[in-house]
Structure 1
Amino acid sequence: MISALMVFTLAACGSNNHSSENRTSKEETDSDTTDVLVVYYSYSGTTEGIAQRLQEKTDGDLYKIEVVEPYPSDINETSDRAEQERESGNLPELAGELPDVSAYDVILVGGPVWTSTVAPPVMSFLEQVDFGGKEVAGFWTDSGNPGNYAADFEAQVEGATLHESFGLSNVSSYEEDELNQELDSWLTTIGTLPETETITGEKTNITITVGDTVITAELNDSKAAQEFKDSLPTTVSMTRMGEHEYYGSLEEPPTETENLQEGYEIGDLAFWTPGDLFAVYFDEPEEAPSGLMILGKITSDMSVFDTMDSSVEMQIKIAE
């Protein structure tokens, strides 16, 4: 039985890590130059979610492996077909053009664990691509048993410098911050996490004025926060939500999407990406929001929010 064909929902990200399409479409980032290509095959969507996170974290390009003849939705039928393909050596035909790997220095290749080894679509990709002179690392998702995935994967990659492989078991069991920490740790180990992923600690002091009340805060040095800084001064019409936040639309919302997280700390200034909204969090929420980019933090007394009106104008500028 294919251990990784259980359908997971990445929204609740969780798992245990292990270290050691069809020639489909290539999706590129906004950057014209990148050293990293993230390649993946995904049956249920779990590996795809991990690949997309890796692409965002590395500022790399994304290539999805797809097969000409899709696998059945029935897990048993898929398992039988995959076993026949491996035993016969007739690996599945891939759809679309293969990526030009000569344009990259580092190639990350991922897929699900099927019957304790590499899924045939990934095998087919590895068989057809020349990795000579490249740096390659494998990643996988599984439902609890990685089997021989790492060793089998590495045995198929010829002519490349191999980095430590990385696996995640039961992805849906991970908390958002835990999953990001696991991925960041692996990318740091293999040297593909851009320096921009790490906040250096430099802060920009700002003021938020509501009527006669002046609130002080500081922005971090993430790319999104720097974009927000460049838009200052600005006035934002903010609406109160319950007893924990104010939110409003920015005239110039950040274009960068990085370091997304679920939940916040009291006092955080954030950009909520699902709704493209700027948010000021002054108390605990009933339910932790996801898709947040933390821009900074309030540094003054937050009791001023207790008596603030339901709709306010926040004038935000760099502190003098």
Structure 2
Amino acid sequence: MGAESLMAGNSQRRGRTSGAGKKSATAGTGGKNRRALAGRGATPPAEQRTGHPAQRRAQAQARQRTDRARARQRAEEAPELLLGRNPVVEALRAQIPATALYVVTGESTRGGTDERITEALHLANDRGLPLLEVGKAEFDRMSGGALHQGIGLQVPPYEYAHPEDLLDLARDSGRPPLIVAMDGVTDPRNLGAVVRSAAAFDAHGVVVPQRRAVGMTASAWRTSAGAAARLRVARAVNLPRALATYQDAGLQTVGLAGDGDVELDEYDGFADPVALVVGAEGTGLSRLVRERCDVVVRIPISRDTESLNVSVAAGIALYQAAAARR
């Protein structure tokens, strides 16, 4: 093999071409690309990128939340239809506000009419409530297919007070404020029972959150046994913020929980302005609400009993407050 064949670029191997593997010099960008990217910042999340599927999903979920909130608001603003013979009679006995009594055609005149329907008719007539007869098919539609036993009471939406209105009521009463705040209670019977206890022990009102909590339904009215007609219930958009307002007004916020730091009978501040805070069934006080409490007390109970019903616990604490004020 000649010397010329061994020179660089003269390889005789198959596939070998002259200059293969060499990199030629290229002109630099002079930092142009780096300057083009400057100031753009981090790539936004997929939910914020126009046209991205994740953004469309996020927008659809937001619309669904808005629709649910609007539907909930419409439901709260619409009259409630209380169904069933026993519930209707109990509601009329408790003087629950009502706008009309519905009876399925023929129920009020049929031979052997149930005595509860008869009593409901008399109570409604004594109050001057309109008696509206409707066909069974129409009433089935109005009640959404629920069991109605041929009778229903139309109850108007509850008119809530503002949390600060309760401070005005306390100021006018000449007594130190005593307010009950309920954190996330979802059973209307518990709300009604707490309202009843609050009225019995001279509290100035009850505060409930606007979201994730029950309001003053007909069932809560009925359980209060008429106390809801004497005691104001306020609704707070933000319960921790409402408690902060009470603290600014001089009230001590006293939480009630099974793992409280102080036993109920050892707490000596009930004679002063107090907002008693009770938690939801099972979960107790939420973190933000508990952080807003000046002190958290507990009711000593038997080790064999895991916890007390929220309305029972509130009643015990309100009795303790009433005793301190006497």
TM category, shorter? under 0.3
* Larger RCO (alpha carbons 8 Å, 6+ apart): 1
> Which structure has greater strand proportion?
1
TM-score, normalization by structure 2: 0.26
> Which structure has greater helix proportion?
2
CA radius of gyration, larger in: 2
